[in-house]
Amino acid sequence: MMTKEDLPVLVFATHNANKAAEVERMLEGRYRILTLNDIGCNEEIIEDATTLEGNAQIKARYVKTQYGLDCFADDTGLEVDALDGLPGVKTARYAGENADSSANMEKLIHALDGVSEDKRQARFRTCICLIQGEEEVVLKGVCEGRIALALEGTEGFGYDPIFHPNSESRTFAEMSPAEKNTVSHRGQAVRKMVNALLARFQ
């Protein structure tokens, strides 16, 4: 009888155990998902690419090269049309290297001060780089929406309180995690990866 230790291993290049567990559940027990903590990777992986795809590749290739394990990594960016695509690849560090979500949102709202509601179009993009053996693939998800005039809702994380997906009257922060995952950029990209991985068993 196969135990969890017998399952093929995939490293998720994150320190977030909850994110890893969520992906493991989606993979229906076919893979064992480990985090950077699980493999003893405590060093900082410098993400200095100019694109989301590049940053995801940096993280995944680092794990594959240094630890020899199949892995995947993601990077996400928020692109605001009125700001010529900013904050983009610097989404997590928009208000500075050590800024938190509140500071990032405050800076973004200030940058859009005076911009009318119909001119606040934006989108979230997620890129996942998956490496198995010698094969590398990049999977993407996009969620179109707009930036709210003020914070709305208390769920989620990051920019969720100020992002309205076009398919919803609510912000991400007013939706449950399950509701958000059905429409979100990250949910789309993860589902594409899960489908690709599960297809190997068919």
Catalytic residues: 75
| C-alpha–C-alpha distance, residues 113 and 202, integer Å | 52
| C-alpha–C-alpha distance, residues 25 and 183, integer Å | 19
| C-alpha–C-alpha distance, residues 121 and 144, integer Å | 8
Residue 23 phi/psi, 5-degree rounding, is -65, -40
| C-alpha–C-alpha distance, residues 180 and 183, integer Å | 6
Residue 50 phi/psi, 5-degree rounding, is -95, 0
Which residue is listed with tokens 């090269």? 65
- Structure tokens of 132? 């198995």
Best CA proximity match to 60, nearest among 75, 50, 42, 48: 75
Q: Which residues touch 113 (CB under 8 Å, ≥6 apart)?
A: none
